[in-house]
Amino acid sequence: MSESTDLLREVACSGAVPRFEIPGWRERFGVVAGITGRGEGGSRGFDLGLWTDAPVGETMNRWRAFRSAEPKFDGLILGHQVHGTVVQWHEAPSSGWLQLEGVDGHATQRPGLLLTVTVADCIPVFLIDPRHKAIALLHAGWRGTAGRILARGVETLVKGAGSSVSEIVMHCGIGICGDCYEVGSEVVQECGEEAEGAGPWHLDLRRTLKRQGEGLGLAQISTSQWCSAHDGRQFYSHRASRGRDGRMVAYLGIL
């Protein structure tokens, strides 16, 4: 079983790029771990979505600003996510921007390589093995959660870094809360939860991921108190905007 489960609220960073980081991880683990926010500048704000109707030049300028906010990272990994369970280990040195197809999770031991996933309600899952200095970042919507992407991420750390499951620390980041996420009974059941009553049914993905982490035997599990839908002034929500909103980028890297 997990040692403890803490409710955390990511803290806003200073600077021109709207960012919220997991409190204490930079000092405790020597990593940067957080997510971008909506910021200011109209309805689109600091939208980092690559597959939208936003002008390409504006989007890339925002990405450049995001990268300049953490200049110690010379490489950045991003996947074209498909709500799957593929988690890729990154070992070879990399610089610049590596874009991969069909990958929803990334793991590495390499300092200076920033792992990223895009989200706008789905849960970014942060994993770190402090002893082996290994990290993983996962994109977990309901399909990824039901498909056990968390178990795949943990397995990748065990195989790639020799991690011990009991030493892995997990944080379920900013995403939609259960009260805001109404789904069909089949979605609830696919994620291993009970769809009681006549509906409507609500799914708390972070609670489900927490239970999965406990079942795997992870050392520590924390959960964000922010909701991408409730806290729409700070974050993007695909569900609350009915598909019209932008995208945030969750990031994790070893300093």
> Domain limits of the chain?
5-254
- Nearest to 96, CA basis, from 136, 67, 70: 67
Residue with tokens 């991880």: 25
What pLDDT is attached to residue 1? 36
Residue with tokens 């970014």: 124
The pLDDT tens digits for 14-62 are 999 999 999 999 999 999 999 999 998 556 799 999 877 778 888 899 9
What tens-digit pLDDT sequence spans the chain (255 residues)?
344 458 999 999 999 999 999 999 999 999 999 999 999 855 679 999 987 777 888 889 999 999 999 999 999 999 999 999 999 999 876 688 999 999 999 999 999 999 999 999 999 999 999 999 999 999 999 999 999 999 999 999 999 999 999 999 999 999 999 999 999 999 999 999 999 888 899 999 999 999 999 999 998 999 999 999 999 999 999 999 998 899 999 999 999
Residues 6+ apart with CB under 8 A from 214: 1, 2, 221
Burial 130-167 (b: 16+ CB within 10 A, else e): bebbbbbbbbbbbbbbbbbbbebbbbbbbebbebeeee
Query: How much is the pTM?
Result: 0.96
Sheet containing 123-129: which strands, arranged edge to edge? 5-8, 220-224, 169-172, 123-129, 134-140, 105-108, 87-90
- Find residue 129's DSSP bridge partners: 134
Determine contact, residues 171/33, Cβ cutoff 8 Å: yes
- Nearest to 110, CA basis, from 70, 142, 72, 69: 72
Determine contact, residues 135/107, Cβ cutoff 8 Å: yes
For domain 5-254, is the CATH number 3.60.140.10? yes
Task: Look at strands 182-183 and 220-224 and give their pairing.
Answer: unpaired
What pLDDT is attached to residue 197? 85
